Structure 1
Amino acid sequence: MAADKIDYNIVFPDAGTSERHWQRTKEPVVILLGWAGCKDKLLSKYSSIYNKQGCVTIRYTAPLKTVFISESFGYKELRSTALRLLEILYGYEVENCPIFFHLFSNGGFMLYRYIIDMLHNDKQFSSLCVVGAVVDSAPGSGNVLGALRALTATLGPNISPVLKYVLLALFAVTVFLLRIVLYPLTKFIHKNHYDAVRDKPPVWPHLYLYSRADQIIRHSDIEFFIEEVKKKNVPVDSYDFISSPHVGHFRDFPEQYTLKCRCFLVACMEGFKMAETKKRQHVESQ
């Protein structure tokens, strides 16, 4: 793709599958936002959950440097990425379809934060209809050790040990200073993703999938976040897989995970259809 474009993948279902699942209703467009370092072949396994249900799917994972460096220093590079992702909907003429998100870890949640901001504040996207979101292993806040574990896993075993430890040390110092010690001041310039979404959450339903065995994102962070957004009347459901590792719930419990995602999507679409029916009845009564 061109240098000024983002590297995404889009899959359209066959017409028969869509009609079978969404009879006379526009099929959902599911946008999957991968975790830092996620390979597309892994993300495609998640998109197949929705492709088999007659959905259009768009897969995208933000670059490592953007997640671990740009965001750590408060550079909002992901904002332009969020803009391009939303513009894809218009490029493929699916902007009138119901939109559904499925995001993973803080890497996906950081990008989701900017998408939410644009959906709230940019008139260009005011007509987009988001029906729900699945959040896998996120969000986390102020966990330097967890962030280091995530970066270590992302760097992999092939990097030079000296370079790896230098990078980890620099990253740890940066995160500790900017995101913990100085955060009471820096938050006025660049609020972290956790606080930004918690303070102004979107109104559509969310399903949080997590595990208390997660060594990267603390389950207590997710549970606290859920309770806070519930106070703002956001429809929220959640499920603790208990034993699965970070972004490993689908791998360890494929049938259960798939069922929860599909049932939640169907419930969100039912809500969407009811809202559309009420709108038509209101227009016809005038």
Structure 2
Amino acid sequence: MLANSKLIFRCSDLLKLNHLKKSFRYASTHRVVGTFGETTQILPEDKKFVVLPPNGPNSSDSKPLVVLFGWAGASVKNLSKYGEVYRNYGCPTIEYILPTRFIFRHSEQAFQAVEGVFTELEKNKNRKTIIHCLSDTGVLTFQGLTIAAEMKDKTFHPSGIVWDSCLGPRPNVTLPRMIILTAINWLSRMRDGMTLAEAVRSSATDFRDLGWKNFIRRLQGLETKISCMNDVWAGYWARDLKTNIPELIIYSKTDLYIPYKHIEDMMLPNRQKNASSLDVCRFDKSDHVAHLLKHKDVYIKHIHQLVDKVEKS
């Protein structure tokens, strides 16, 4: 009798443990470890985003809410031009640009910077949502959004995704490339509001840790060391993301940052497998995040087609 009661006790404990596991099944395992030693303080300005209503008479509650994640160094004005494509078609938008220091160096903390966007989405959780990622920084921000949700024991499931000038390979460091990247980071940090001295000092530190030290690692046959969430490069996270929703990939044969062969050989097959439908928009000639500028009519046509698919899904 005593043995049976012990067995019953153990079974009930097991049931409780299983219940607890189910209760916390969405909790993220991601931890901030300080890839390069230090972590960064999350400032109020890091979390700033813009919410804009639709333009014109086409708006209705059935139109999806669109979240646009900008590229490194983008301005609010730059990103708003993309948002206008959706607003003119009746969709409200949320627009957010991840500050530059979260790219490569403090990427593991991107979820903290974007948690306010998730809170805003929770207010509209009954509305379908499209995520529009511009460049790999947009993908990194999207990854951070999903982790921000998991940190609150929730999940975020968009109804459609636009991969625009993104899904590039994991960065490999060469000194010439790092010099260019350091210059871009310096300009971006000036745009983020840093003083000249702060931007120079921050960019010099990046060149040392991300450039020179990774160059030495490459000579040793080691992988480039960058900050990632869940130890996964954002591009690989997006490659393997299982969504079963409509998606659109926009890229160009002349994009210097995102090799089109990488998109066609590595990314398209995986997205075709993991999305319910995948539309592909390839341009023969347009620069990185410049497809709207160079091919406005075709670009807008593809965006509207995706919005229609999401609205009808």
| TM-score for the superposition, normalised by structure 1 | 0.75
Return 226-235 or 77-86, whichever deviates more: 226-235
- Provide the residue aligned with 2:244 in structure 1: 203
The SS at the match of 1:69 is coil
- Structure 1 residue 97 displacement after superposition: 0.9
RMSD: 3.4
- Provide the residue aligned with 2:170 in structure 1: 142
Specify which of 74, 77, 84 is matched with residue 116 of structure 2: 84
Change (3 A) 1:166 1:111: closer
User: Contact 2:55–2:87 (CA<8 Å) still a contact in 1?
Assistant: no
Return 223-232 or 255-264, whichever deviates more: 223-232
Specify which of 137, 146, 152 is matched with residue 107 of structure 1: 137
Length, aligned pairs only: 255
The SS at the match of 1:214 is coil
- Provide the residue aligned with 2:83 in structure 1: 47
- Provide the residue aligned with 1:153 in structure 2: 184
Residue-by-residue CA offset, 1:63-92 (whole Å, 9 max, x unaligned): 000113213xxxx111223432111123xx
Residue-by-residue CA offset, 1:227-281 (whole Å, 9 max, x unaligned): 123234552221111210111111111121111111211122112xxxxxxxxxx
- Provide the residue aligned with 1:217 in structure 2: 258
Runs (5+) with no aligned partner, structure 1: 20-24, 272-286
- Structure 1 residue 147 displacement after superposition: 6.9
Runs (5+) with no aligned partner, structure 2: 1-42, 191-195
Residue 171, structure 1, aligned to residue 213, structure 2: no
Residue-by-residue CA offset, 1:31-79 (whole Å, 9 max, x unaligned): 00000111010000010111111111000000000113213xxxx1112
User: Contact 2:66–2:94 (CA<8 Å) still a contact in 1?
Assistant: yes
Residue-by-residue CA offset, 1:179-218 (whole Å, 9 max, x unaligned): x82469x989612112223233322221110111111122
Change (3 A) 1:231 1:26: closer
- Provide the residue aligned with 1:240 in structure 2: 282
Change (3 A) 1:115 1:222: farther
User: Contact 2:252–2:260 (CA<8 Å) still a contact in 1?
Assistant: yes
- Structure number with bigger Rg: 2
| TM-score for the superposition, normalised by structure 2 | 0.70
- Structure 1 residue 148 displacement after superposition: 5.9
Identity of aligned residues (%): 21
User: Contact 2:69–2:132 (CA<8 Å) still a contact in 1?
Assistant: yes
The SS at the match of 1:30 is strand
In structure 2, what is the Cα distance between the partners aligned to 1:7 and 1:122? Answer: 20
In structure 2, what is the Cα distance between the partners aligned to 1:170 and 1:123? Answer: 32
In structure 2, what is the Cα distance between the partners aligned to 1:253 and 1:199? Answer: 29
Structure 2 counterparts to residues 22-101 of structure 1, below 5 A: 25-71=61-107, 76-90=108-122, 93-101=123-131
- Structure 1 residue 170 displacement after superposition: 3.9
